[in-house]
A and B are shown apart, each in its own frame.
Chain A
Amino acid sequence: MDSLKGKVAVVTGGGSGVGQALAGALANEGMRIVVGDADIKAAEAAVADITQLGARAIASRVDIADRASVGALADLAFDEFGTVHVLCNCAREMVARPAAEMEDADWGRVISVNLDGTINVLTAFLPRLVAQGEEGHILSVSASTGLFAQQNAVANATADHAAMGLLAHLNTELQPLRIGVSVLCLSTAAGQDFEFVARLALRGIKDNQLYVFSEPSTRPQVEARLAEIRAAYSSLIRSDTR
């Protein structure tokens, strides 16, 4: 979507990291912002920064893994501003542990935020977003763990691949309704420049770009995965013609 000015954005995980930076970048475009975060103090601090720049923003505590909490965030946003155009789901969990040592709680942390959280946000916001009949955009953060296998990341591989497939499907389904979808793939390494990632995400929203990779160096691993799949097909084709 080209024009963001005067419209409304909801940013979950907006109290810190890339969510905070993105909330600021969207406010800078003239949007009104709802900042949701599990840490209400962080959300309020982010809102204070935004309002200092002269934009309107409100803060809310939200537990992305809790359906009722996400539903309440949607109610708050629509009650306060009457409309939502841009939805940024920036809450994210990462558990780095060997697969053989993963405990149920490790799985639960990742699945409940990265996958269930994405579903919760869609279920809470999408019906109203579609019903208002206007242009919109949904952005959700992910990482390269949703693109190819990595050591010590099996729960993320599961949740992030699932969310990636979900969003790719959603992109096609919502295109006729003029609602775009972006998957913002963050780096799994520490020390990413969130201001830079937020600029990239903003460009992705404006360009209606599905895959927004903040870590272009991962391309060879994706190519290697495709090569492995192709090799499996070539043995299939050989066995068919045997």
Chain B
Amino acid sequence: MQSLRGKVAAVTGGGSGIGRALALAFAEEGMDVAIADIERDPAETVAEEVRAKGQRAFAMACDVSDRSSVGRFADFVYNNLEAAHVVCNNAGVVAGKPTPQMTHDDWDWVMGVDLYGVIYGIQAFLPRMLSQGDEGHFVNTSSITGLVPWSAPGIISYTAAKHGVVGLSEGLNLELAADKIGVTVLVPGQIRTRIGESARNRPTRTVVDPQPPATSPSSPTAAGGAQRLPVGAEMTLEPEDLASRVVGAVRAGDLYVFTHPATLDEINLRFEAIMQGYDWVDRALAREDSPEEA
């Protein structure tokens, strides 16, 4: 989408962190912005910052893990701003404990916000964007954890959700190109946000030891599995730096936004583990073919 001026951006989790930076970056490009956040006051503060840039802005309290709440946000965007061109499914949280101790309650919150929230965003906005007939773009916030399962304990739900966001984004990108709808998935390393304080918004407030994945203690790389954080990936970037890359990616129609060059090493290791699976099956098939060993 080359031209952003005069168009409408909608951002979930827009009250802080990456979402706030996206809202402000799109406002800077001359877009009007709708901001959803589980916390109404920070969303309204960001809306005021957008208005200070001379753009229209509206804020709404929204729990993205609730399908009907996301539906109301889409209604809110179309009622107030008449369209949606760039939809950022960004809201995210992290929490967890060792997997054998995880209850449904532990799974539900992270999966609900980090993955189902993105699905609900697609379900609520895509049909309207298609019938609107304009160029459109989805920006989905994943994480390097969406491609690389770190060995840090307590982040299995975050890892699953962020992998899901990458898969969803790649699939949509493949299918929606013909409909003039682009997709960008954010696959950042460490960004300076308040995600480590996610527990402040957990409904039941029973979180044990919330920890942002990219700063968690790590253990050595295990064959075929999760990996430790590479040197250089610990460098923390500001959300504004990520947001400016996202604006460029939306204009260019880029699928991926990465932030930390060092994380490519870890992606390579993950794919090596997958390729080892193909090598293994090739050997197993060779054994199948030799009758004396079958």
Contact = CB atoms under 8 A, between A and B. Distances in A.
A28 interface: no
Given A209-B224, A216-B282, 8 more contacts: A102-B123, A111-B116, A158-B164, A171-B226, A226-B268, A229-B264, A232-B257, A240-B261
The interface size bin for chain A is 35 or more
A129 B270 CA distance: 27
Among B257, B259, B280, chain A packs the most CB atoms within 10 A around the CB of B280
Contacts of B261: 233, 236-237, 240
A222 B274 CA distance: 9
21 contacts: A100-B130, A111-B116, A115-B160, A123-B107, A129-B100, A145-B167, A149-B174, A157-B167, A157-B171, A159-B167, A161-B164, A161-B166, A166-B156, A175-B222, A211-B277, A211-B278, A222-B271, A222-B274, A222-B275, A229-B267, A232-B257
B175 interface: yes
B211 interface: no
Nearest to A185: B277
Contacts of B153: 173
Interface in B155-173: 155-156, 159-168, 170-173
Interface string B255-277: 11111010010011011011111
A65 to B, nearest CB: 13
Given A158-B171, A236-B259, A107 B103 contact: no
Among B103, B173, B258, chain A packs the most CB atoms within 10 A around the CB of B258
B264 A100 contact: no
Contacts of B161: 162
The interface size bin for chain B is 35 or more
Contacts of B9: none
B151 interface: yes
Interface in A201-230: 203-204, 207, 209-214, 216, 219, 222-223, 225-226, 228-230
Contacts of A54: none
B186 to A, nearest CB: 12
Interface of B: 67, 98-104, 107, 111, 115-116, 119, 123, 126, 130, 145-147, 149-151, 153, 155-156, 159-168, 170-176, 179, 222, 224-226, 245, 254-259, 261, 264, 267-268, 270-271, 273-278, 280-282, 284-285, 288
B168 A157 contact: yes
A186 interface: no
Interface of A: 67, 98-100, 102, 104, 107, 111, 115, 119, 122-123, 126-127, 129-131, 145-154, 157-166, 168-175, 196, 199-200, 203-204, 207, 209-214, 216, 219, 222-223, 225-226, 228-230, 232-233, 235-237, 239-240
B163 A164 contact: yes
B99 A173 contact: yes
B283 to A, nearest CB: 10
A91 to B, nearest CB: 17
A148 B170 contact: yes
Contacts of A163: 160
A164 B281 CA distance: 18
B225 A210 contact: yes
A200 B146 CA distance: 28
Contact of A160 (B104, B167, B225, B259): B167
B149 A172 contact: yes
Nearest to A126: B100
Nearest to B179: A100
B115 to A, nearest CB: 6
A123 B111 CA distance: 14
Contacts of B278: 211, 213, 216, 219, 222
A231 to B, nearest CB: 9
Among A151, A154, A209, chain B packs the most CB atoms within 10 A around the CB of A154
Contacts of B245: 239
Contact of B284 (A162, A164, A200, A222): A200
A158 B273 contact: no
